[in-house]
A = this chain, B = another copy of it.
Amino acid sequence: MDFRDVSLTSLRVFRAVAEQGTFTAAAAELGYTQSAVSRQIASIERAAGAELLERRRDGARVTTAGRIVLQRATTVLDEIDAAARELTGLPARAGTVRVGWFPIAGAVLGPRALTALRRSDPALTVVTREAGTPALVRALRAGSLDLAVLALAPPFRPPDAESPALVLRTLTERSLCVAVPAADPLARGSFVDVADLRGRRWIAGSATAGDGLMGVWPGLDEKPEIAHTARDWLSKLHLVAAGCGLTTVPAVLATVAPAGVRVLPVRGGPREQRRVLLARLPQPLPEAAARVAAALHRAALDTDVAL
Contacts and interface: CB of A to CB of B under 8 A. Distances in A.
Interface of A: 2-4, 6-8, 48-50, 65, 68-69, 71-73, 75-76, 79-84, 86-88
A7 B4 contact: no
Given A72-B82, A79-B79, A80-B72, A87 B7 contact: no
Main secondary structure of the interface of A (DSSP, over half): helix
A51 to B, nearest CB: 11
Contacts of A8: 4, 6-8
A3 B84 contact: yes
A87 B68 contact: yes
B48 A80 contact: no
Contacts of A48: 87
Contact of A6 (B2, B71, B80, B82): B80
Nearest to A68: B86
A83 B7 contact: no
Stoichiometry, copies per complex:
2
Given A7-B8, A8-B8, A49 B88 contact: yes
Contacts of A82: 72
Given A4-B81, A68-B83, 19 more contacts: A3-B84, A4-B8, A4-B80, A6-B8, A6-B80, A7-B8, A8-B8, A49-B88, A50-B87, A68-B87, A69-B83, A69-B87, A71-B83, A72-B80, A72-B82, A72-B83, A75-B75, A75-B79, A76-B76
8 contacts: A3-B84, A4-B8, A6-B8, A50-B87, A68-B86, A71-B83, A76-B79, A76-B80
A37 to B, nearest CB: 18
Given A65-B87, A68-B86, A7 B6 contact: no
A81 B82 CA distance: 20
Nearest to A88: B49
A20 to B, nearest CB: 19
Nearest to A75: B79
A-B pairs with lowest CB-CB distance, top 6: A3-B84, A72-B83, A72-B79, A68-B86, A76-B79, A76-B76
